[in-house]
Amino acid sequence: MKRLLSATLLAGLLSGCMGSMPLPIGPLNRQLESLGANRDPSLSGRWLALISGKGGREQVVLVDLERQQPLPLPGLNRADAQPVSVSVDSAGERIALVRQLEGRTELVLYRRSLQSLQPIAMVPSGVPRQVQLQADGRQMAVQVSRAGLWQVDLVQIP
Protein backbone atom coordinates (compact mmCIF):
# COMPACT_ATOMS: atom_id res chain seq x y z
CA MET A 1 0.00 0.00 0.00
CA LYS A 2 2.83 2.35 0.94
CA ARG A 3 4.63 1.48 -2.29
CA LEU A 4 1.46 2.11 -4.31
CA LEU A 5 1.01 5.50 -2.67
CA SER A 6 4.63 6.41 -3.38
CA ALA A 7 4.28 5.39 -7.02
CA THR A 8 1.07 7.38 -7.38
CA LEU A 9 2.68 10.42 -5.77
CA LEU A 10 5.74 10.13 -8.02
CA ALA A 11 3.56 9.82 -11.12
CA GLY A 12 1.57 12.84 -10.05
CA LEU A 13 4.71 14.87 -9.44
CA LEU A 14 6.19 13.83 -12.76
CA SER A 15 3.07 14.66 -14.71
CA GLY A 16 2.91 18.00 -12.95
CA CYS A 17 6.55 18.78 -13.65
CA MET A 18 6.57 17.41 -17.15
CA GLY A 19 3.22 18.76 -18.25
CA SER A 20 5.05 21.50 -20.10
CA MET A 21 7.65 19.26 -21.71
CA PRO A 22 7.48 17.41 -25.00
CA LEU A 23 7.21 13.77 -24.00
CA PRO A 24 8.67 10.95 -26.11
CA ILE A 25 5.89 8.65 -27.34
CA GLY A 26 7.42 5.41 -26.07
CA PRO A 27 5.35 2.72 -27.79
CA LEU A 28 5.48 4.52 -31.14
CA ASN A 29 9.20 5.13 -30.89
CA ARG A 30 9.77 1.46 -30.13
CA GLN A 31 7.67 0.56 -33.17
CA LEU A 32 9.78 2.93 -35.29
CA GLU A 33 12.97 1.39 -33.90
CA SER A 34 11.79 -2.00 -35.08
CA LEU A 35 11.53 -0.72 -38.66
CA GLY A 36 15.26 -0.03 -38.87
CA ALA A 37 16.96 3.28 -39.76
CA ASN A 38 14.37 6.00 -40.39
CA ARG A 39 14.56 9.47 -41.89
CA ASP A 40 12.54 12.31 -43.43
CA PRO A 41 9.47 12.20 -41.15
CA SER A 42 6.19 13.79 -42.22
CA LEU A 43 3.41 14.10 -39.63
CA SER A 44 -0.17 14.94 -40.60
CA GLY A 45 -3.43 13.99 -38.92
CA ARG A 46 -3.15 10.46 -37.57
CA TRP A 47 -0.36 9.62 -40.02
CA LEU A 48 3.40 9.53 -39.99
CA ALA A 49 5.14 8.97 -43.32
CA LEU A 50 8.87 8.35 -43.39
CA ILE A 51 11.65 6.69 -45.31
CA SER A 52 12.80 3.53 -43.65
CA GLY A 53 15.71 1.30 -44.45
CA LYS A 54 16.73 -2.17 -43.51
CA GLY A 55 19.42 -4.25 -45.13
CA GLY A 56 20.53 -1.43 -47.41
CA ARG A 57 17.15 -0.88 -49.07
CA GLU A 58 14.95 2.10 -48.29
CA GLN A 59 11.21 2.38 -48.76
CA VAL A 60 8.32 4.65 -47.84
CA VAL A 61 6.41 3.62 -44.73
CA LEU A 62 3.09 5.06 -43.56
CA VAL A 63 2.34 4.56 -39.87
CA ASP A 64 -1.17 4.86 -38.46
CA LEU A 65 -0.49 6.67 -35.19
CA GLU A 66 -3.72 5.57 -33.56
CA ARG A 67 -3.05 1.89 -34.16
CA GLN A 68 0.73 2.41 -34.12
CA GLN A 69 1.08 0.11 -37.09
CA PRO A 70 2.49 0.52 -40.60
CA LEU A 71 -0.05 0.33 -43.41
CA PRO A 72 0.44 -1.36 -46.77
CA LEU A 73 1.11 0.98 -49.71
CA PRO A 74 0.56 -1.22 -52.76
CA GLY A 75 2.14 0.16 -55.89
CA LEU A 76 4.21 2.87 -54.21
CA ASN A 77 7.50 1.22 -53.34
CA ARG A 78 9.73 -0.33 -55.98
CA ALA A 79 12.83 -2.37 -55.35
CA ASP A 80 14.73 -0.38 -58.01
CA ALA A 81 13.70 3.08 -56.73
CA GLN A 82 15.46 5.17 -54.11
CA PRO A 83 13.11 7.41 -52.10
CA VAL A 84 14.47 10.91 -51.48
CA SER A 85 11.69 12.88 -49.77
CA VAL A 86 8.15 12.04 -48.69
CA SER A 87 5.10 13.89 -47.35
CA VAL A 88 1.55 12.87 -46.41
CA ASP A 89 -1.68 14.88 -46.12
CA SER A 90 -3.87 14.90 -43.01
CA ALA A 91 -6.38 12.46 -44.50
CA GLY A 92 -3.63 9.93 -45.17
CA GLU A 93 -4.93 9.81 -48.74
CA ARG A 94 -2.20 11.58 -50.68
CA ILE A 95 1.49 10.88 -50.44
CA ALA A 96 3.96 13.02 -52.40
CA LEU A 97 7.29 11.38 -53.08
CA VAL A 98 10.56 12.43 -54.69
CA ARG A 99 12.45 9.35 -55.82
CA GLN A 100 15.33 8.30 -58.00
CA LEU A 101 14.48 5.75 -60.61
CA GLU A 102 16.48 4.58 -63.59
CA GLY A 103 19.00 7.37 -63.24
CA ARG A 104 16.56 10.26 -62.98
CA THR A 105 14.85 12.04 -60.12
CA GLU A 106 11.07 12.40 -60.29
CA LEU A 107 8.14 13.65 -58.27
CA VAL A 108 5.14 11.36 -57.97
CA LEU A 109 1.79 11.65 -56.23
CA TYR A 110 0.27 8.51 -54.72
CA ARG A 111 -3.44 8.26 -53.94
CA ARG A 112 -3.93 5.58 -51.35
CA SER A 113 -7.61 4.82 -51.94
CA LEU A 114 -6.95 4.32 -55.66
CA GLN A 115 -3.49 2.80 -55.23
CA SER A 116 -2.54 5.07 -58.14
CA LEU A 117 0.81 6.70 -58.82
CA GLN A 118 0.94 9.88 -60.91
CA PRO A 119 4.20 11.44 -62.09
CA ILE A 120 4.24 15.24 -61.75
CA ALA A 121 6.21 17.19 -64.36
CA MET A 122 8.73 19.84 -63.36
CA VAL A 123 8.05 22.91 -65.52
CA PRO A 124 10.31 24.64 -66.38
CA SER A 125 12.41 21.52 -66.25
CA GLY A 126 14.32 20.95 -63.07
CA VAL A 127 15.33 18.32 -60.59
CA PRO A 128 13.07 17.96 -57.55
CA ARG A 129 14.78 17.42 -54.24
CA GLN A 130 12.24 17.83 -51.50
CA VAL A 131 8.46 17.92 -51.26
CA GLN A 132 5.91 18.92 -48.65
CA LEU A 133 2.14 18.48 -48.98
CA GLN A 134 0.01 21.02 -47.18
CA ALA A 135 -2.25 19.31 -44.67
CA ASP A 136 -5.47 19.65 -46.69
CA GLY A 137 -3.75 17.93 -49.61
CA ARG A 138 -4.60 20.65 -52.14
CA GLN A 139 -1.11 21.96 -52.81
CA MET A 140 2.48 20.89 -52.47
CA ALA A 141 5.70 22.84 -52.13
CA VAL A 142 8.58 21.40 -54.11
CA GLN A 143 12.24 22.33 -53.81
CA VAL A 144 13.64 22.19 -57.34
CA SER A 145 17.16 22.62 -58.72
CA ARG A 146 17.23 24.87 -61.83
CA ALA A 147 20.29 26.36 -63.45
CA GLY A 148 22.33 25.93 -60.32
CA LEU A 149 19.76 27.52 -58.02
CA TRP A 150 17.37 26.00 -55.54
CA GLN A 151 13.84 27.24 -56.15
CA VAL A 152 10.43 26.45 -54.68
CA ASP A 153 7.39 25.61 -56.82
CA LEU A 154 3.88 25.56 -55.39
CA VAL A 155 1.89 22.93 -57.27
CA GLN A 156 -1.89 22.76 -57.02
CA ILE A 157 -3.45 19.34 -56.80
CA PRO A 158 -6.90 18.92 -58.35
Residue 74 touching other proteins (CB under 8 A): no
Residue 70 touching other proteins (CB under 8 A): no
Site residue total, other proteins (CB under 8 A): 59
Q: Which stretch binds other proteins (CB under 8 A): 3-11, 70-78, 93-101, 134-142?
A: 134-142
Cis amide linkage into residue 124, ω under 30° from 0: yes
Residue 4 touching other proteins (CB under 8 A): no
Residue of 84, 4, 68 lying closest to 33 (CA atoms): 68
Instruction: Classify burial at 112, counting beta carbons within 10 Å of its beta carbon; exposed 0-12, middle 13-18, buried 19 or more.
Output: buried
Q: What distance in Å separates the CA atoms of residue 81 and residue 76, rounded to the nearest whole number?
A: 10
Structure letter (DSSP) for residue 134: -
Residue 22 touching other proteins (CB under 8 A): yes
Residue 34 touching other proteins (CB under 8 A): no
Q: For residues 142-158, b (16+ Cβ closer than 10 Å) or e, as one string?
A: bbbeeeeeeeebebebe
Residue 65 touching other proteins (CB under 8 A): yes
Distance in Å, CB of 89 to other proteins, minimum: 9
Out of 12, 72, 75, 124, the only residue in the binding site for other proteins (CB under 8 A) is 124
Residues that bind other proteins (CB under 8 A): 18-25, 28-29, 32-33, 37-45, 48, 50, 65, 90, 106-107, 109, 118-125, 129-130, 132-136, 138-143, 149-158
